[in-house]
Amino acid sequence: MAVTTDGPLTVTADGPLTLAGVRDLHRRWLDGAAFDIGYPNAADFDPSMLLRLFDVTLNNVGHPFTPTSGFSGHSLPLEQQLIRELGATFRCPPDLVTGFVTSGSTEAVRAALLAARRRFRRRLIVYASTAAHTCVAKLAEELCLPLRQVPARADGTMDTTALAELVQQRRRGVAVLVVATIGTTMLEAVDDVPAIHTALDAAGVPAKSRWVHADAALAGIPLAMADPAGRPGFDIGDGADSINISGHKYLGVPTPCGAIVLRTDRCTPPDLTPTYTGAPDLTPAGSRSGHTPVLMLAALRGFGTDGLRSRAETCRSHAATLVELLTAADVPAWRHQDAFTVVFPAPSDRLRARWPLPVQDGWGHVICMPGKPFTRYERFAAEYLADRRDHGGHPLPGRPPAVAADLEDAIAC
Ligand SMILES: *Cc1c(COP(=O)(O)O)cnc(C)c1O
């Protein structure tokens, strides 16, 4: 098998994979990573020690918090340990922690919506801001839950005054599920969980009829390392009922994965019929990875609390320096206080052919992530400024990012 060294990625149609072919693939992906500054994957987790585990089948069927039977090819006890450690990180009372590992944050948000749907017997409305991840709308449609989109402010945070007004319009007795976004995709804006509760108080939603889920895919762990007094309230200690992270973002696990932590006192037990494994299956998926819990646990332990904190500080300082570099050249670049994400007028298509950055509403961004050297961001900034100088600047976006005034109607099922 041979691999093309430029042009579209293909392998020759005949013959088995060879070591040389695999090395070519590896080289192409490593070369591509040099321009990869727009996506939130950390690049400093070294999984090589764990490669030892990839010749055993590990399949975590069922729930990590229920007793398991004889079959040994799983990592459910380690998955439980991971969830307990994430529970402590997000300040869930230790006796109320439950949760499991998922394929990513999308599946984790889905699990939160399912848990709330079960608890409120389908009489609920989902509220999320217009800057929430697109998975929320996709999942609300899939799960036949009505969704109300709450306007985001110009800085990307949920407008909680608008939330209170929208919630007030619901029929009596309908429960409220708010998905708070802890680090929006474009601006890394953080919705304030205590402010969401204040809005729900103002709208007269009883405590027993509300659920706040924190979608903290990227920013959850780095924010948890900051002093709670100086950051927005977002975790279970701040009033969230459930929270999720992606393992392939801040932890840098090289394959998509995620985890959800829920408060047991918010969950209604589902059907407890044991499956063929002998344990009740409380997870929405069937077979789940037994490797990703070990990878995430290894990343948490390997970096340690101090490492997780210092990596976040380095990223913030890179982002701050990049903002200075761009604003010194009169580019209206900016970032949120604790964010790794630097926002600026969208680069030209010419530049984006080289640097694949996401753009929206006339804005683009880069995300300063662990393991990506600052020289990479500097090189981008130099090319961005040269492109601006040579081609007459980037048009200033007409309106602030992430503001969509119109509210989408409930998705009918
Ligand atoms: C990345 C992200 C998601 C989607 O996560 P996956 O792990 O790709 O499914 C959802 N919400 C937020 C806020 C994200 O940043």
> Among 303, 332, 355, which residue terminates a domain?
303
Which atom of ligand 1 is nearest to 104's Cα? Answer: 7
Least confident of 4-8, 182-186, 395-399: 395-399
- CA 190 to centroid of ligand 1, rounded, Å: 14
Residue 130 C-alpha from the chain's centroid:
16
Answer yes or no: is 15 within a domain: no
Residue 133 sits in the same domain as residue 208: yes
User: pLDDT band for position 15 (50/70/90)?
Assistant: confident
Over range 117-139, report the average pLDDT: 96
Answer yes or no: is 385 within a domain: yes
pLDDT of residue 63: 87
Residue 276 sits in the same domain as residue 318: no
Q: Are the C-beta atoms of residues 128 and 181 closer than 8 Å to each other? A: yes
Between the alpha carbon of residue 310 and those of residues 39, 236, 297, the distances in Å are 20, 23, 18
Over range 142-167, report the average pLDDT: 97
Q: What is the DSSP annotation of 170-199?
A: SPTT-EEEEEEEBS-TTT--B--HHHHHHH
Q: Is the CB of 183 under 6 A from ligand 1?
A: yes
Over range 242-257, report the average pLDDT: 98
Between the alpha carbon of residue 211 and those of residues 98, 114, 118, the distances in Å are 16, 12, 12
Residue 252 sits in the same domain as residue 294: yes
Answer yes or no: is 21 within a domain: no
Residue 84 sits in the same domain as residue 101: yes
Beta carbons within 10 angstroms of residue 373's beta carbon: 11
Q: Is the CB of 258 under 6 A from ligand 1?
A: yes
Answer yes or no: is 96 within a domain: yes
Q: Is the CB of 135 under 6 A from ligand 1?
A: yes
What is the spatial distance between Cα 99 and Cα 64, in angstroms, rounded to a whole number? 8
What is the spatial distance between Cα 159 and Cα 196, in angstroms, rounded to a whole number? 9
pLDDT exceeds 90 at position 307: yes
What is the spatial distance between Cα 177 and Cα 185, in angstroms, rounded to a whole number? 20
Question: Residue 55 is which amino acid?
Answer: D
pLDDT of residue 408: 32
> Among 271, 303, 335, which residue terminates a domain?
303
Answer yes or no: is 28 within a domain: no
CATH of the domain at 65: 3.40.640.10
Q: In a mutational test of the pocket of ligand 1, which residue from 39, 101, 103, 106 has the highest number of ligand atoms less than 8 Å from its CB?
A: 106
Q: Is the CB of 218 under 6 A from ligand 1?
A: yes
- CA 19 to centroid of ligand 1, rounded, Å: 33
Between the alpha carbon of residue 387 and those of residues 334, 349, 359, the distances in Å are 19, 11, 17
What are the tokens at 109? 């948000």
Q: What is the pLDDT of residues 46-63, one digit of tens each?
A: 999 999 999 999 999 888
User: pLDDT band for position 10 (50/70/90)?
Assistant: confident
Residue 246 sits in the same domain as residue 335: no
Q: What is the pLDDT of residues 314-365, one digit of tens each?
A: 999 999 999 999 999 999 999 999 999 999 999 999 999 999 999 998 999 9
Q: What's the CA angle centered on 112, arms 108 and 113, to 5 degrees? A: 115
What is the spatial distance between Cα 77 and Cα 45, in angstroms, rounded to a whole number? 23
Q: Are the C-beta atoms of residues 53 and 294 closer than 8 Å to each other? A: yes
Residue 308 sits in the same domain as residue 178: no
Residue nearest to atom 2 of ligand 1 (CA): 217
What are the tokens at 220? 């959850």
Residue nearest to atom 14 of ligand 1 (CA): 217
> Among 255, 282, 303, which residue terminates a domain?
303
Residue 145 sits in the same domain as residue 292: yes
- CA 39 to centroid of ligand 1, rounded, Å: 11
Answer yes or no: is 32 within a domain: no
Residue 267 sits in the same domain as residue 254: yes
What is the spatial distance between Cα 344 and Cα 116, in angstroms, rounded to a whole number? 38
- CA 246 to centroid of ligand 1, rounded, Å: 7
Residue 334 sits in the same domain as residue 226: no
Residue nearest to atom 11 of ligand 1 (CA): 133
User: pLDDT band for position 281 (50/70/90)?
Assistant: low
Answer yes or no: is 6 within a domain: no
Beta carbons within 10 angstroms of residue 219's beta carbon: 31
Q: Is the pTM of this model over 0.85?
A: yes
Residue 292 sits in the same domain as residue 310: no
Element (H, E) at 243: strand 242-246
pLDDT of residue 391: 78
What is the spatial distance between Cα 71 and Cα 92, in angstroms, rounded to a whole number? 31
Residue 246 sits in the same domain as residue 118: yes
Residue 202 sits in the same domain as residue 313: no
Residue 152 or residue 400, greater confidence: 152
Answer yes or no: is 25 within a domain: no
Owning domain of residue 330: 304-412
Over range 70-85, report the average pLDDT: 93
Report how many domains make up the chain: 2
- CA 252 to centroid of ligand 1, rounded, Å: 14
CATH of the domain at 349: 3.90.1150
